[in-house]
């Protein structure tokens, strides 16, 4: 063994136990992540779209079981599962109709650290919280999304439980790879480091059909979902090209910093070239929307505003109005392997927490609206609400 490898091995010596201790730290006592978020009656009313009185009446006449109470008899609040049961009783799930296409939304950019996985996980949870049926597919061997959902990717997930066997054409459908998460109405196909194998293996099978595998896989399960969120790797490799071809909508997170701006332009150029080549071999790619999301925005940095203005000019009409701010609440929640939506209360301060939730909601609401606009069955409701 050379001295180089020896040095790397030394760095890796204790990683196994470190990963385990992270999990003990985050999810004691039994190491299993659960959805501990409970919604107040006020929140339930907003989420379900029915009044306190309607909810209370349904509890009284037994259509709904009352929420759990604490030792002092106080209500503990409603779980998302209970909220969704209410929606079923009141008929207020906002689903697509059978004739609307499910949205297959890739959160894509070139670079790591631009917030792709953060945006993907918060958006998927937000949409599930609104009552949509959501699947999130971790397409990145770095597996941040899988980690967020409570797994140690390389310990808890077997390579045969990721996209890998399907990309190896060893499976007929993606159904066996889908697992439920603790977040009601949100399923996951996880990833781990072995998914990186797919890059070599797909590249060694020189046929146009290696780029359409993911799309074909998604077609086998998409009827079960309103929205499928794809969280790809920060590169335009073989798996990401599968993502580009499988998607029917694109969200591109871009921090307002010079290097990120120019790398996003490089990304768009490479994307264009790749799409031209995919279209030549496989047929047309139809995106229902392509939007840039300003991510990691810090209003205290004056240079950022100039770049936001530049982005709005350059990508006229394609930049979301809502911006994802850099927030200590997001990074603090991330350090606890949680999203901000999973928190019952602030980690930093109430002010920072509430502002962060408002920001996340405004970004996600804008994306939700784009999704609903793509569904003909929602057109009337959007028109009546003045949202078309
Ligand atoms: N808006 C934000 N505010 C604070 N920290 C963020 C924000 N977005 C992402 N981060 C942090 O930056 C890191 C990289 O984000 P991530 O979403 O994993 O990026 P990507 O998937 O593009 O590589 C993570 O530690 C995450 O918690
Ligand atoms: Mg990521």
Contact 113, 334 (CB under 8 A): no
For 49-74, write each residue's pLDDT tens digit. Answer: 999 899 989 989 989 888 778 888 88
Query: Rounded CA gap, 101 and 374, in Å?
Result: 8
60 and 144 housed in the same domain:
no
Span 322-328, mean pLDDT?
A: 96
Residue whose token pair is 């701006």: 261
For 185-219, write each residue's pLDDT tens digit. Answer: 999 999 999 999 999 999 999 798 999 999 999 99
Is 130 within a domain?
Answer: yes
Query: Rounded CA gap, 56 and 62, in Å?
Result: 10
Q: Is 124 exposed, middle or buried (0-12, 13-18, 19+ CB in 10 A)?
A: buried
Is 282 within a domain?
Answer: yes
Average pLDDT of the chain to the nearest whole number: 93
54 and 178 housed in the same domain:
no
CB of 331 within 6 A of ligand 1: the answer is yes
Span 236-263, mean pLDDT?
A: 95
Query: Rounded CA gap, 84 and 299, in Å?
Result: 36
User: What would the 3-class secondary structure string for 269-299 be?
Assistant: HHHHHHHHHHHHHHCCCCCCCEEEEECCECC
113 and 82 housed in the same domain:
no
Distance 28 CA to ligand 2 centre (A): 25
Q: Return the pLDDT at 299.
A: 83
55 and 148 housed in the same domain:
no
Q: Is 49 exposed, middle or buried (0-12, 13-18, 19+ CB in 10 A)?
A: middle
The sheet carrying 227-232 orders its strands as 179-180, 186-189, 134-139, 227-232, 103-107, 249-254, 290-294
276 and 353 housed in the same domain:
yes
What is the domain count for the chain?
2
111 and 184 housed in the same domain:
yes
83 and 153 housed in the same domain:
no
Nearest CA to ligand 1 atom 6: 331
pTM: 0.95
Nearest CA to ligand 1 atom 13: 113
Asked if the model's pLDDT at residue 14 lies above 90, the reply is: no
Atom index in ligand 1 nearest the CA of residue 296 equals 1
Is 287 within a domain?
Answer: yes
Contact 187, 178 (CB under 8 A): yes
Atom index in ligand 1 nearest the CA of residue 327 equals 3
Is 36 within a domain?
Answer: no
For 28-54, write each residue's pLDDT tens digit. Answer: 667 789 999 999 989 999 999 999 899
Pocket probe mutation, ligand 1, options 108, 110, 113, 297, max atoms within 8 Å of Cβ: 113
212 and 325 housed in the same domain:
yes
CB of 117 within 6 A of ligand 1: the answer is yes
107 and 73 housed in the same domain:
no
Q: Return the pLDDT at 25.
A: 65
Reported as type and span, the H/E element at residue 229 is: strand 227-232
114 and 86 housed in the same domain:
no
Pocket probe mutation, ligand 1, options 234, 243, 331, 359, max atoms within 8 Å of Cβ: 331
How sure is the predictor about 283, in pLDDT bands with cuts at 50, 70 and 90?
very high
CB of 112 within 6 A of ligand 1: the answer is yes
Is 172 within a domain?
Answer: yes
Where in the sequence is the domain holding 48, given as residue range(s)?
Answer: 41-90
Pairing of strands 179-180, 227-232: unpaired
Query: Rounded CA gap, 256 and 307, in Å?
Result: 6
Q: In DSSP terms, which residues pair with 293 in a beta bridge? A: 253
Is 14 within a domain?
Answer: no
Q: Is the dihedral of CA 164, 333, 117, 79 positive or negative?
A: positive
For 114-172, write each residue's pLDDT tens digit. Answer: 999 999 999 999 999 999 999 999 999 999 999 999 999 988 999 999 999 999 999 99
Is 284 within a domain?
Answer: yes
Q: Return the pLDDT at 269.
A: 95
Q: Which residue among 90, 123, 158 closes a domain?
A: 90
Of the candidates 105, 85, 43, the one whose C-alpha atom is nearest the C-alpha of residue 372 is 105
Is 15 within a domain?
Answer: no
Asked if the model's pLDDT at residue 24 lies above 70, the reply is: no
107 and 155 housed in the same domain:
yes
Q: Return the pLDDT at 28.
A: 66
48 and 111 housed in the same domain:
no
Q: Return the pLDDT at 17.
A: 79
CB of 144 within 6 A of ligand 1: the answer is yes
Pocket probe mutation, ligand 1, options 26, 113, 116, 118, max atoms within 8 Å of Cβ: 118
Q: Return the pLDDT at 12.
A: 85
CB of 114 within 6 A of ligand 1: the answer is yes
């Amino acid at each position: 063994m050379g001295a180089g490898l020896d040095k790397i091995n030394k760095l890796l010596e204790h990683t196994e136990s470190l990963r385990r201790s992270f999990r003990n730290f985050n999810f004691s006592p039994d190491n299993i992540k659960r959805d501990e978020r409970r919604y107040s009656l006020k929140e339930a009313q907003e989420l379900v779209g029915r009044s306190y009185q309607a909810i209370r009446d349904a509890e009284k006449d037994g259509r709904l079981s009352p929420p759990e109470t604490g030792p002092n008899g106080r209500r503990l609040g409603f779980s998302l599962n209970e909220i969704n049961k209410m929606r079923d009783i009141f008929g207020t799930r906002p689903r697509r109709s059978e004739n609307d296409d499910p949205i297959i939304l890739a959160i894509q950019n070139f670079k790591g650290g631009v917030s792709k996985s953060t945006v993907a996980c918060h958006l998927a949870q937000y949409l599930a919280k609104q009552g949509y049926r959501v699947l999130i597919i971790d397409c990145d061997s770095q597996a941040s999304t899988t980690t967020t959902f409570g797994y140690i990717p390389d310990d808890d997930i077997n390579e045969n439980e990721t996209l890998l066997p399907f990309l190896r054409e060893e499976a007929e459908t993606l159904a066996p790879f889908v697992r439920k998460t603790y977040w009601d109405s949100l399923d996951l196909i996880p990833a781990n480091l072995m998914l990186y194998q797919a890059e070599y293996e797909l590249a060694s099978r020189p046929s146009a059909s290696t780029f359409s595998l993911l799309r074909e896989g998604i077609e086998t399960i998409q009827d079960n979902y309103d929205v499928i969120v794809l969280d790809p790797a920060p590169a335009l490799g073989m798996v990401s090209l599968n993502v580009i071809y499988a998607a029917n909508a694109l969200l591109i997170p871009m921090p307002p910093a010079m290097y990120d701006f120019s790398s996003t332009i490089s990304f768009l150029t490479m994307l264009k070239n790749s799409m031209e080549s995919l279209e030549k071999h496989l047929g047309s790619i139809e995106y229902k929307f392509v939007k840039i999301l300003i991510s990691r925005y810090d209003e205290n940095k004056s240079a950022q505003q100039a770049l936001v203005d530049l982005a709005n000019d350059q990508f006229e009409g394609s930049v979301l109005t809502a911006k994802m701010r850099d927030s200590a609440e997001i990074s603090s929640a991330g350090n606890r392997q949680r999203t901000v939506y999973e928190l019952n209360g602030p980690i930093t301060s109430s002010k920072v927490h509430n502002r962060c939730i408002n920001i996340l909601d405004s970004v996600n609401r804008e994306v939700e609206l784009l999704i609903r606009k793509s569904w003909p069955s929602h057109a009337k409701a959007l028109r009546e609400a003045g949202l078309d």
